[in-house]
């Protein structure tokens, strides 16, 4: 187990290193840099001033030097300064992370609370009308573009409540915050809930077919207890995996949802930073997202061991 | 191994079927939801192919007199604020959407298959390298990856297809690799090798055909995701540029502004996306049930 | 705010009431004015940016030497009033402009305002000082400004190369605040210090720009508001929903297009909405040096096939204006009068006849139904650029031109244009102050960086200088018309239309005056108040 952990950690570091190279190179392939953007609003490009800005930001240096400077800083905990706001990157990203984290967490909770029970019901009532209806609902969850859903929700809210759940200023209390994020979280979590529901259903069905369940039934365990206790316990395993994968996917979904609901989280900020060619922000943010994804996947793997003693990780 | 013999499967189900028509009917009967999905997809493919024939107006021609016209006799699905006919635009949008969906899925699968096959077959340092690159690519959400790609390539139809195909590669490569690993050790492959067949020939003629089933399952599942990603990219202004009638673009900024005065601008393209993705998902489920009995529901 | 109290009005205010006719009797103090903002500007430094995204929120932080009367909707030479300068005078030869400065004014950090600050500001703008702006978009306004001299602690003089009455108009623009000497240009980009009615509090990308009342403002008892909050909302539909839902007191300036206006007025009938010129014209850039558009016949055919009325009908339900380079009357003070405009090619007459003539020209140039010309129409990936480009392509179809839209990333646009890597470009040109000097030299002078088509006419440039020196307004107006007419006849940068859009505010916002011929000049806001 210990050597497995070490190996996993090394692989994680390797992945993160590769990601740093990938994002660094890809960003420099994006045409234009911050100097172009700065001059864009002025309606002209002044080559001398542009060169001046590039020199100030070190963009005139060889690409290898730029990379080493970034990584060197990163290792020491220095994330550099945003090109646009000229504030430390950490000050720009830091306050936005909790917003997106809360939103993602709420979406995840929503998707589990909705997806897991419906998946179980769907499996237990396999091939009934209810099952078909639930399957169609879950499939439509996978088919609706989340921004479209968000737009429809906004449309509905204005029509019937005369107000809209968009972010215009930081919420005062936790309750306000929960209320404010609940609708966007539902809009983006609907998709994940559909996925979780589908997976719960199919793993439940598989487990229900297995021998020990039959045995449990034969030994007089009630159907309900079999379904909900034995089967669900085993079906939870693959569902955990999907939750790990969905955690990463949620960030993608949040990009559009944060845009529609005007929530100042990191997901939307990333898009803006790409448009601004604000390299320090994009690079560090992408590294952060990658770190989260890698760590979540790692934790899910560990959770596997805890949930299923049959699985043992050898080296 | 996950391949399954069709006829055996059909026979086991107690059907005595010959001829494609009755087979289709049988399958439709057995997978009603899948058949429904197939009908939707076929409808959209039909719309895409015959878009010029079945629409009365050029989707890019503007007309001040029709600006924001409500759905009705003159414009089946209404008109946008430039007076462009929404019905024409939605139908022509099928072309764009399917082109991007099919194009990027095909491209992603092609590259993924080559990489996965090579990786599972060659093993060694190449495999190790591929594995790490896949790890890296999977550490970013699909949309984030596509976003950066789309920004670096610039907005155009071809670039959007490329941008969406690349994040699809790791999934395909991973599945193909694990299948290749399993198949290459099977007795008949050993036999072919013993007969002096070259490794490339073995890979192409014995291993590849046997990975087709999981590939088809994966590809149908990816199709919907690719179409949704295109819509999201276009919605964010990084996908297909005007004047191509892309559904995602139709839903972006300008349409959203008319959400109350001209809701048809939001409803029809959104319905089109949802419906076609819904169709591919239904179809994908049925295909998976058919080809991958382990996951049969 | 609940704690606000009605304010007794000094008798003097009633006298002033003749100036500010719209001001109500009982102003209330307090409250936070909430406005939606459309995007995140690169910085909040007024002098370094050329977008209303900075001009509107930041004007309240500063003062000018002189300013357009904040409650006269039409800016003109007659509406310029003193601000940090208490008075001004011209020398006999009209080449020296002297300002007497207000005393006892403090910067937001407590330092006193002096004549040195004025010199520092314009030395930066004319690039004479050691410190430099990161960029300096309005350098062209001051090409004729030779020197700013400090004559005493409270007197400065502007020394001009030649007489230029229009410089006063530019100094009165919202874009011409006085910057403090003791604060670096870099700090002015992130945490600016001004003398204005509101202090800058914070600018957070993608979130907000916040201002708070300056308690030591030199105008007694002002401002009325406690704070102003500009909330950045990228999506216009979300901004509009926010206004309709009452989240915002006011929309971003000219944010409401004509087709959207109906929606707001029906959803929020109590709101005030004013439709006005946006100061932005849609125009064509034609690369006249490269084939095929080096052929004057093709260029003229293009002018003739453009159905300006169709553009205007689609983009604004007929509300936009046809015009020449300068903002058309009645709001515009210098634009071509309608009777002269109507005589220009492509501005009137029978569209079918025009297009016949255009097709004939194309045939003479060697094109026809079986030999169509393929071109690319380049434009930026922004809706307000794309929409007219789509219409243009549709109109070009009529004269055997198959045009394809070439979307250029925002970061690449001006570079591409400057390198002339385009055939036809669809562009938007804004003008922040209704003054020919601010417009002609920037866009049409041979050497200007923003003369994108490099249309160069030495004779016409002499006329531009001549009008700039003319002191008689009526005479100057005629000269300006002649120049504008010539520009349109030459197709220097064919103007398709001048935009109109609306700004809306809730009934509780009092004393708002939108400046009709500039959206950049009316945001001092020291006497706006909230009736709550």
Domain boundary assignment for chain C: 29-229+506-530, 278-500
The residue of B66, B81, B85 whose CB has the most chain C CBs within 10 angstroms, and thus the best one to mutate to test that interface, is: B81
Provide the pLDDT confidence category of residue C15 given band limits of 50, 70 and 90.
very low
pLDDT for residue B296: 45
Helical axes B32-49 vs B264-291, angle rounded to 10°: 130
- Of A41, A59, A93, the position where a domain reaches its end is A93
Q: Comparing C-alpha atoms, which of C300, C423, C424 is closest to residue C364? A: C300
CB-count exposure of residue C439 (10 Å: 0-12, 13-18, 19+): buried
What pLDDT does A311 receive? 59
Tracing tokens 């013993």 back to the chain, one arrives at B194
Superfamily name with CATH number, domain B31-295? MetI-like (1.10.3720.10)
User: What distance in Å separates the CA atoms of residue C390 and residue C403, rounded to the nearest whole number?
Assistant: 10
pLDDT the model gives residue C330: 93
Nearest Cβ partner for A148 among B148, B151, B251: B251
Strand partners, A299: none
What are the residue ranges of helices labelled H in A162-261?
A: 174-209, 211-218, 223-225, 232-261
CATH ID of C29-229+506-530, from 3.40.960.10, 3.40.50.360, 3.40.190.10, 1.10.8.60:
3.40.190.10
Average pLDDT, chain B: 83
Q: What is the chain A residue with the closest CA to C415?
A: A45
User: For C383, which of B61, B156, B253 is closest by C-beta distance?
Assistant: B253
Identify the pLDDT of residue A310: 63
CA distance C333 to C337: 10
* Ramachandran area for residue B124 (φ above 0: left; ψ -120 to 50: alpha; else beta): left
How far, in Å, CA of B59 to CA of B243, rounded? 9
Q: List, as one string, the DSSP characters of C154-194.
A: TEEEEEESS--TTHHHHHTSTT-PPPPTTS-HHHHHHS---
Of B64, B154, B259, the CB nearest to C237: B259
Q: Do A52 and A295 contact (CB within 8 A), yes or no?
A: no
Count of C-beta atoms within a 10 Å radius of residue A128: 12
Q: In this structure, are residues C272 and A195 in contact, taking their beta carbons and an 8 Å threshold? A: no
Q: Give domain status of residue A312, yes or no.
A: no
Q: Do A286 and B144 touch (CB under 8 A)?
A: yes
* Beta carbons of C259 and B61 less than 8 Å apart: no
Q: Are A60 and A127 members of one domain?
A: no
CATH 3.40.50.1980 is the classification of domain C278-500: no
Backbone φ/ψ region at C91: left (φ over 0), alpha (ψ -120 to 50), beta? beta
- Among A28-42, B72-86, C35-49, C302-316, the range scoring the smallest mean pLDDT is A28-42
Q: CB contact, 8 Å: A295 with chain B? A: no
Nearest to A80 by CA among A264, A268, A279: A279
- Closest Cα of chain C to B147: distance in Å? 14
Distance CA B131, CA B88 (A): 45
- Residues A37 and C409: their CA atoms lie apart, in Å, by 10
- Looking at the fold, whether A152 and A211 belong to one and the same domain comes out as yes
Domain assignment of residue A302, yes or no: yes
Give the DSSP H or E segment for A288.
helix A279-307
Predicted confidence at residue C395, as pLDDT, reads: 92
Q: Look at residue A315 and tell me if it is in a domain.
A: no
Q: Mark yes or no for CB contact A168/C231 under 8 Å.
A: yes
Tokens 């307090």 label which residue?
C30
pLDDT at A212: 67
Q: Which chain A residues are within 8 Å of B275, Cβ to Cβ?
A: 143
C187 or B82, greater pLDDT: C187
Distance from CA of B61 to the nearest CA of C (A): 6
- Cis peptide bond N-terminal to C374, omega within 30: no
Q: Are residues A194 and A303 in the same domain?
A: yes
pLDDT of residue C54: 93
Cα nearest neighbour of C380 on chain B: B241
Q: Is the pLDDT of residue C496 over 60?
A: yes
Q: Which parts of chain B have pLDDT scores under 50?
A: 1-5, 7, 14-15, 296-297
CA–CA distance, C465 with C163 (Å, rounded to integer): 10
The rounded distance, in Å, linking the Cα atoms of C451 and A100 is 45
Q: Cβ B260–C263 below 8 Å, yes or no?
A: yes
Q: What pLDDT sits at residue A315?
A: 41
pLDDT per residue, tens digit, chain A (315 aa), is: 678 888 888 988 998 999 999 889 988 888 888 888 877 766 666 778 888 888 888 888 999 999 999 999 998 989 999 988 888 999 989 999 999 989 988 998 998 899 888 988 888 888 889 988 998 888 888 888 888 888 888 778 877 876 677 777 778 888 888 888 888 998 888 888 888 888 888 888 877 777 666 777 777 766 666 666 766 777 777 777 777 767 767 777 888 888 888 888 998 888 888 888 899 999 999 999 888 888 888 888 787 777 766 655 544
Residue the block writes with tokens 């407590």: C110
Expressed as residue numbers, the domain containing A289 is: 96-307
Please, what is the angle between helix A146-161 and helix B212-235, to 10°? 40
Residue B288, both tokens: 């998976």
pLDDT score for C10? 36
Grade residue C240 by pLDDT with cuts at 50, 70 and 90: confident
Sorted by sequence, the CB contacts under 8 Å of residue C41 that are 6+ apart come out as A41, C49, C51, C53, C54
What distance in Å separates the CA atoms of residue C309 and residue C260, rounded to the nearest whole number? 20
CA distance C331 to C499: 12
C-alpha C382/C-alpha B81 separation (Å) is 16
Chain C contact for A94 (CB, 8 A cutoff): no
Residue A77 and residue C452 in contact, taking contact as beta carbons nearer than 8 Å: no
Residue A314 φ/ψ, nearest 5 degrees: -85, 180
Domain boundary residue, one of A48, A73, A93? A93
Task: Note whether residue A40 is domain-resident.
Answer: yes
By C-alpha distance, the chain B residue nearest A21 is B136
Q: State yes or no: pLDDT of C173 exceeds 70.
A: yes
User: Quick one: tokens of A125?
Assistant: 């009532």
Asked whether residue A86 is domain-assigned, the answer is yes
* C-alpha pair distances (Å), C258 with each of C133, C312, C314: 38, 11, 10
User: How do C401-408 and C373-380 pair as beta strands?
Assistant: parallel
B261 at the C interface (CB within 8 A)? yes
Residues on chain C touching A39 (C-beta within 8 angstroms): 135, 414
Q: Is A18 on the interface with B (CB under 8 A)?
A: yes
pTM of the model: 0.84
Chain A window 144-203: which residues touch B at a Cβ cutoff of 8 Å? Answer: 144-148, 151-152, 154-155, 158-159, 201-202
User: Could you read off the pLDDT of C322-368 as tens digits, one per residue?
Assistant: 999 999 999 999 999 999 998 888 887 788 999 999 999 999 999 99
Same domain, A66 and A126: no
Number of domains observed in the structure of chain A: 2
Quick one: which H or E segment has residue B194?
helix B187-194
Residues in chain C with CB shorter than 8 Å from the CB of B250 are none
d(CA C435, CA C452): 20
Within 10 angstroms of residue A159's Cβ, the number of other Cβ atoms is 11
Chain A residues within 8 A of B266 when measuring between CB atoms:
148, 151-152, 155
Q: C33: which strand partners?
A: C228
What ipTM was estimated for this complex?
0.82
Flag if C242 and A261 touch (Cβ within 8 Å).
no
CB distance A41–C134 less than 8 Å? no
Break chain B into its structural domains and give their ranges.
31-295
Residue that is last in its domain, among A93, A112, A134:
A93
Residues A74 and A221 in one domain: no
- Contact at CB, A162 and C245, closer than 8 angstroms: yes
Per-residue confidence (pLDDT) for residue C20, from 0 to 100: 44
């Amino acid at each position: 187990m210990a050597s497995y952990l070490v190996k996993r950690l090394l692989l994680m570091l390797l992945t993160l290193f590769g990601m740093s190279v990938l994002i660094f190179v890809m960003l420099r392939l994006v045409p234009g840099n911050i100097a172009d953007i700065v001059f864009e609003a002025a309606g002209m490009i002044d080559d001398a001033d542009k060169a001046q800005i590039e020199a100030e930001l070190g963009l005139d240096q060889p690409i290898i030097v730029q990379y080493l400077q970034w990584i060197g800083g990163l290792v020491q905990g220095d994330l550099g300064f945003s090109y646009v706001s000229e504030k430390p990157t950490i000050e720009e990203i830091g306050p936005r992370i909790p917003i997106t984290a809360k939103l993602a967490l709420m979406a995840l909770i929503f998707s589990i609370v909705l997806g897991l029970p419906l998946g179980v019901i769907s499996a237990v009532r396999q091939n009934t009308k209810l099952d078909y209806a639930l399957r169609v609902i879950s499939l439509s969850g996978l088919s609706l573009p989340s921004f479209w859903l968000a737009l429809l929700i906004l449309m509905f809210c204005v029509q019937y409540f005369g107000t809209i759940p968009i972010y215009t200023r930081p919420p005062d209390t936790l309750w306000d915050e929960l209320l404010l994020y609940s609708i966007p979280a539902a809009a983006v979590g609907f998709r994940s809930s559909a996925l979780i529901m589908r997976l719960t259903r199919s793993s439940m069905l598989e487990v229900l077919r297995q021998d020990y369940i039959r045995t449990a039934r034969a030994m007089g365990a009630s159907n309900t207890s079999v379904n909900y206790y034995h089967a669900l316990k085993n079906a939870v395993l693959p569902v955990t995996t999907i939750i790990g994968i969905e955690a990463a996917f949620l960030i993608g979904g949040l990009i559009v949802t944060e845009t529609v609901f005007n929530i100042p989280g990191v997901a939307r900020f990333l898009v803006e930073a790409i448009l601004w060619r604000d390299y320090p922000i994009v690079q560090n943010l992408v590294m952060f997202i990658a770190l989260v994804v890698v760590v979540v996947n790692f934790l899910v793997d560990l959770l596997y061991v805890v949930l299923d003693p049959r699985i043992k990780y050898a080296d | 191994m996950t391949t399954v013999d069709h006829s055996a499967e059909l026979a086991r189900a107690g059907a005595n079927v010959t001829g494609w028509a009755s087979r289709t009917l049988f399958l439709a009967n057995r997978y009603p939801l899948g058949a429904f999905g197939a009908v939707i997809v076929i409808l959209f493919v039909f719309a895409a192919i015959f878009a010029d024939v079945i629409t009365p107006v050029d989707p890019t021609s503007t007309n001040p007199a029709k600006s924001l016209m409500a759905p009705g006799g003159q414009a089946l699905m209404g008109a946008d604020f430039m007076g462009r006919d929404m019905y024409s635009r939605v139908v022509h949008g099928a072309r764009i959407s399917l082109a991007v969906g099919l194009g990027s899925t095909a491209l992603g699968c092609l590259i993924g298959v080559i990489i996965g096959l090579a990786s599972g077959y060659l093993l060694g340092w190449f495999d190790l390298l591929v594995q790490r690159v896949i790890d890296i690519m999977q550490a970013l959400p699909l949309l984030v990856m596509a976003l950066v790609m789309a920004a670096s390539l610039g907005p155009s139809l071809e670039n959007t297809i490329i941008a969406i195909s690349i994040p699809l590669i790791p999934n395909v490569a991973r599945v193909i690799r694990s299948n290749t690993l399993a198949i290459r050790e099977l007795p008949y492959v050993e036999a072919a090798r013993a007969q002096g067949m070259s490794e490339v020939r073995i890979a192409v003629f014995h291993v590849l055909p046997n990975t087709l089933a999981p590939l088809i399952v994966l590809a149908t599942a990816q199709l919907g995701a690719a179409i949704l990603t295109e819509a999201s990219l276009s919605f964010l202004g990084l996908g297909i540029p005007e004047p191509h009638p892309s559904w995602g673009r139709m839903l972006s900024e300008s349409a959203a502004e008319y959400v109350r005065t001209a809701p048809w601008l939001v409803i029809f393209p959104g319905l089109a996306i949802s419906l076609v993705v819904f169709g591919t998902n239904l179809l994908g489920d049925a295909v998976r049930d058919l080809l991958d009995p382990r996951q049969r529901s | 705010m609940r704690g606000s109290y009605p304010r007794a009005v000094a008798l003097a205010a009633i006298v002033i009431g003749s100036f500010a006719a719209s001001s109500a009797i009982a102003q209330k103090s307090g409250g936070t004015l909430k406005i939606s903002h459309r995007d995140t500007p690169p910085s909040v430094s007024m002098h370094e940016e050329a977008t209303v995204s900075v001009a509107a929120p930041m004007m309240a932080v500063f003062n000018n030497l002189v300013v357009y009367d904040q409650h006269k909707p039409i800016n003109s030479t007659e509406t310029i009033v003193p601000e940090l300068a208490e008075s001004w005078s011209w020398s006999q030869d009209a080449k020296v402009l002297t300002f007497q400065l207000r005393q006892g004014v403090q910067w937001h950090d407590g330092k006193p305002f002096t004549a040195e600050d004025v010199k520092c500001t314009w030395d930066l703008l004319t690039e004479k000082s050691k410190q430099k702006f990161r960029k300096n978009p309005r350098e062209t306004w001051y090409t004729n400004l030779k020197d700013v001299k400090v004559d005493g602690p409270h007197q400065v003089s502007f020394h001009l190369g030649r007489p230029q009455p229009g410089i006063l108009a530019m100094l009165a623009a919202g874009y011409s605040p006085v910057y403090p000497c003791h604060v670096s240009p870099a700090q002015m980009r992130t945490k600016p210090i001004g003398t204005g009615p509101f202090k800058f509090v914070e600018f957070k990308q993608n979130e907000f720009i916040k201002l708070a009342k300056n308690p030591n403002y030199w105008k007694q008892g002002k401002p009325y508001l406690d704070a102003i909050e500009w909330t950045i909302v990228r999506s216009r539909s979300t901004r509009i929903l926010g206004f309709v839902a009452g989240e915002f007191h006011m929309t971003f300036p000219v944010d409401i297009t004509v087709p959207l206006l109906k929606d707001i007025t029906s959803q929020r009938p109590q709101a005030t909405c004013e439709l006005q010129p946006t100061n932005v014209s849609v125009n064509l850039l034609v690369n006249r040096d490269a084939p095929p558009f080096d052929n004057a016949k093709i260029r003229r055919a293009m002018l003739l096939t453009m159905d300006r009325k169709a553009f205007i009908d689609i983009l604004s339900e007929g509300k936009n204006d046809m015009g020449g380079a300068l903002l058309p009357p009645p709001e515009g003070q210098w634009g071509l009068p309608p009777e002269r405009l109507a005589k220009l090619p492509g501005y009137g007459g029978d569209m079918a006849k025009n297009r016949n003539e255009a097709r004939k020209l194309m045939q003479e140039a060697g094109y026809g139904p079986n030999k169509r010309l393929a071109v690319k129409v380049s434009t930026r990936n922004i809706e307000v650029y794309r929409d007219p480009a789509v219409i243009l392509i549709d109109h070009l179809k009529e004269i055997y031109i198959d045009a394809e839209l070439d979307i250029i990333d925002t970061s690449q646009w001006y570079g591409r244009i400057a390198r002339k890597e385009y055939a036809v470009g669809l562009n938007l040109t804004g003008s922040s102050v209704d003054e020919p000097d601010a417009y002609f030299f920037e866009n049409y002078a041979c050497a200007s960086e923003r003369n994108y088509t490099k249309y160069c006419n030495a004779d016409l440039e002499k006329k531009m200088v001549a009008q700039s020196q003319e002191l008689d307004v009526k005479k100057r107006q005629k000269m300006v018309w002649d120049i504008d007419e010539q520009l349109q006849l030459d197709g220097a940068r064919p103007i398709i239309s001048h935009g109109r859009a609306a700004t809306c505010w809730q009934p509780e916002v009092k004393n708002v005056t939108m400046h009709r011929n500039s959206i950049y000049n009316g945001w001092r806001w020291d006497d706006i108040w909230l009736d709550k």
